[in-house]
Amino acid sequence: MGVTKRFIYTEGINEVANIAKVFAHPARVAILKYISEQEGCICNDLVDEIGLSQATISQHLSVIGDAGLLKGRFEGKKKCYCLNLERFEEFQTLLNSFFIKTTANCC
């Protein structure tokens, strides 16, 4: 075993889980935080900022990117990463619509 049985859940549920997974690792949270705090574009200051290897940072960036949370483009040999705010807000909306309208019914 060890495989998540995605097929037994609705699409909405899987989507929440998938986006949450992006934030489920502190390196990715740190990357997003750092990127969003910067003026202008940021490249691999991330490797210095966070204490991980370039390969590892790049790997995390691709996870974040695959979820649609990044906009990036090359500026010469450097790459510029920015937060995709629309997608980020979409995630917040999704989470909110899943839970915030509910109230605890007991206990």
- Interacting residues toward a second copy by CB under 8 A: 4-6, 8-10, 13-14, 16-17, 20-30, 32-33, 36-41, 50-52, 71-73, 80, 82-85, 88-89, 92, 95-96, 98-100, 102-107
- Kindly calculate the radius of gyration of the chain based on its CA atoms and give it in whole angstroms: 16
**Binding partner of 100, given DNA, a second copy, none, CB within 5-8 angstroms per partner class:** a second copy
Query: Which residue, 54 or 92, is less far from a second copy as judged by CB?
Result: 92
What lies within 8 Å, CB to CB, of 32 at 6+ separation is 23, 64, 69, 83
Using the rule CB under 7 A, which residue among 15, 23, 38, 52 binds DNA? 52
Task: Return the residue matching tokens 């691999």.
Answer: 44
Query: Which residue, 27 or 69, is less far from DNA as judged by CB?
Result: 27
Q: How far is the CA of 58 from the CAs of 14, 65, 106, in angstroms?
A: 25, 10, 45
C-alpha torsion sign, points 16, 19, 25, 26: negative
Which residues make up the interface to DNA (CB under 7 A)? 1-5, 21, 24-25, 27, 43-44, 52-56, 58-63, 72, 74, 76-79
